[in-house]
Amino acid sequence: MLAVSFVVLAGFLGVAGVALDQAFRRSAETALRERLMGHVYALLAAADEDARGRMVLPSALPDPRFANPDSGLYAVVVGSDGYQWQSPSLTGRSADFLDPQPPGQRRYSRVASDGQTLYVLNYGVSWEDDFGVQVRYTLAVALDFEPVAAEMAAFRASLWRWLGGLAVALLLVQGLIVRWGLRPLRSVEQDLQRIESGEAERLEGAYPRELQGLTRSLNALIRSSRSSRERYRNSLGNLAHSMKTPLAILRNAAESGARSGELRAVVLEQVLRMDEIVQHQLRRAAASAQVALGRAVAVAPVADRIARSLARVYADKPVDIALEVQDGARFFGDEGDLMEILGNLMENACKYGRHRVRVGAHALQAGRRPGLRLWVEDDGAGIEPHRHGEVLQRGRRLDEQQPGQGIGLSVVREIVEAYQGRIRISRGALGGARVEVEIPPPSLSQF
């Protein structure tokens, strides 16, 4: 940033310096031309006439420098009638800067004469004598250009000194501003190092508004990562604990000397039980915590895919699954979590309902990342209000005649809670159970 600032500043000040130098140079030359033109007018005003009415320059001129040799101000007048005059200041010098001009014309030039640079004006006039004859004269006035050049050089040196000093001062100020402006980023880096070393668990500094979105996102990622590790750790512990009983039963059966048929039945039963335990723990471990940076998953395609699958599973029990999913309904999270929620709720509705199931979804509010409300209801017997909390517990089933382990709704509850949402059970319009899931809009502030 400082290097780019230096290049931009150098270019800007360089262009500004050249522009100012050229402007001063033009101004100095314009003033010099006006001075030369003023000397021409002074010569014309001081001119006299001879006996024939022609121009004659007096010996004494208004500007005393015309009378001093090598004064730096010189004048020459020549006429078409052969008249010639030059100022005493040209004594010992050549008048090679004379350039005859027609009447009314002027010409400015810079010439080197006798080792000196002169700025010259040649001006042509027409003078009518007493006999009506037009006589042409050229008045050449030369001024030493070296003082003007020295003045320009002094201005240029002063200009570049000031601009150079200004550039250095601006770069120093720019460096201080950049260092001050980037201080919050260094604070974020230091806080992240404290998190890596285990001294802190999240970014908790007072950051400016421009960095608050970044720090909230980082906190969300840290929270999500920690939550995922904790969830997998808990799932492994639960899996190990749940495996103790089936393994103990198998060991006891093997040590008891049971007959092969009985041993086979015990092994088959416990293997199925362990498989269900493993699948359950894997589903729990795969449940994603809410991440505000998660992508949007359209609900309609997922619900339609699950409905078609359930129609094949329950082919022997015709079930009409009606989908009432809003077009803009989106789930901000992992698609697998959405499939777990809808799959378990819709499967329970098909299992315990009679012939009708209704699935709905719509956005909670308008906005770029709205929340989501899902509901699934059936025309079955429903669930008594005092047993709503019971069915959300793992392994609790109200209908023991139906196959299953009673873990579907508990998985839904765990996933919904991971997304800071809530689940409600009530009686639906179809007469059976209605399970409603509400997931709030993703918010970085909760992290």
For residues 217 and 279, state if they share a domain. yes
For residues 410 and 334, state if they share a domain. yes
Listed residue (202, 194, 36) closest to 121, CA to CA: 36
DSSP state of 430: T
For residues 322 and 263, state if they share a domain. no
Identify the band that residue 400 occupies on the pLDDT scale cut at 50, 70 and 90.
very low
Main-chain phi, psi angles of 238, to 5 degrees: -65, -40
Identify the band that residue 244 occupies on the pLDDT scale cut at 50, 70 and 90.
low
pLDDT at 437 over 90: yes
For residues 88 and 124, state if they share a domain. yes
For residues 407 and 301, state if they share a domain. yes
pLDDT at 59 over 90: no
Q: What is the mean pLDDT of residues 170-194?
A: 86
For residues 254 and 143, state if they share a domain. no
pLDDT at 394 over 60: no
**Which positions ≥6 away from 276 have C-beta within 8 Å?**
405, 407
What is the extent of the structural domain holding 306? 296-446
Tell me whether residue 201 is in a domain: no
Listed residue (417, 326, 435) closest to 370, CA to CA: 326
pLDDT at 220 over 70: yes
For residues 377 and 264, state if they share a domain. no
Q: What is the pLDDT of residue 368?
A: 65
pLDDT at 292 over 60: no
Look up the pTM and report it: 0.47
Interior/surface letters 169-194, b for 16+ CB within 10 angstroms, e for the rest: eeeeeeeeeeeeeeebeebbeebeee
Q: Which residue has the tokens 């502030």?
A: 445
pLDDT at 62 over 70: yes
pLDDT at 162 over 70: yes
> Could you report the per-residue pLDDT of 401-426, keeping only the tens digit for each?
444 444 568 778 888 888 888 999 88
Listed residue (117, 115, 135, 118) closest to 126, CA to CA: 135
User: Residue 353, exposed/middle/buried by CB under 10 A (0-12, 13-18, 19+)?
Assistant: buried
Listed residue (159, 121, 145, 156) closest to 41, CA to CA: 121
Tell me whether residue 194 is in a domain: no
pLDDT at 444 over 60: no
46 close to 151: Cβ distance less than 8 angstroms: no
Sequence-separated contacts (24+) of 223-232 with Cβ below 8 Å: 223/289, 223/447, 224/288, 224/289, 224/290, 224/291, 226/201, 227/289, 227/418, 228/288, 228/289, 231/284, 231/285, 231/287, 231/289, 231/418, 232/285
For residues 137 and 47, state if they share a domain. yes
Listed residue (332, 346, 353, 356) closest to 408, CA to CA: 346
Q: Which helix (H) or strand (E) holds 375?
A: strand 372-378
d(CA 185, CA 208): 10
> Could you report the per-residue pLDDT of 365-381, keeping only the tens digit for each?
755 678 899 999 999 88
**Which positions ≥6 away from 135 have C-beta within 8 Å?**
54, 55, 79, 80, 81, 83, 126, 127, 128, 129
For residues 255 and 327, state if they share a domain. no
For residues 252 and 367, state if they share a domain. no
pLDDT at 447 over 50: no
Q: Higher-confidence residue: 408 or 138?
A: 138
Tell me whether residue 166 is in a domain: no
pLDDT at 54 over 80: yes
Beta bridge partners of 415: none
Report the domain count for the chain: 3
Edge-to-edge, what's the strand order for the sheet holding 433-439?
320-325, 356-363, 372-378, 433-439, 422-427
In the chain, helix, strand, coil percent, each to 5? 50, 20, 30
Domain edge (last residue) among 257, 286, 315: 286
Domain edge (last residue) among 286, 317, 348: 286
Tell me whether residue 186 is in a domain: no
For residues 147 and 270, state if they share a domain. no
Residue 355: CB atoms within 10 A of its CB come to 13
> Could you report the per-residue pLDDT of 302-347, keeping only the tens digit for each?
999 888 888 877 777 888 999 999 988 899 887 878 888 898 899 8
- The count of C-alpha atoms lying within 13 angstroms of the C-alpha of 246, restricted to the half-sphere facing its C-beta, is 18
305 close to 337: Cβ distance less than 8 angstroms: no
Q: How far from each other are the two terminal CA atoms of the chain, in whole angstroms? A: 33
257 close to 408: Cβ distance less than 8 angstroms: no
Tell me whether residue 171 is in a domain: no
Edge-to-edge, what's the strand order for the sheet holding 106-113?
84-86, 73-79, 134-144, 116-128, 106-113
- The count of C-alpha atoms lying within 13 angstroms of the C-alpha of 323, restricted to the half-sphere facing its C-beta, is 16
- The count of C-alpha atoms lying within 13 angstroms of the C-alpha of 371, restricted to the half-sphere facing its C-beta, is 15
Lowest-pLDDT range, 77-81, 321-325, 351-355, 402-406?
402-406
For residues 16 and 45, state if they share a domain. yes
Interior/surface letters 61-81, b for 16+ CB within 10 angstroms, e for the rest: bebebbeeeebebbbbbbbee
Q: Which residue has the tokens 């049971």?
A: 258
Q: What is the pLDDT of residue 386?
A: 74
Q: Which residue has the tokens 């004659």?
A: 56
134 close to 128: Cβ distance less than 8 angstroms: yes
Tell me whether residue 174 is in a domain: no
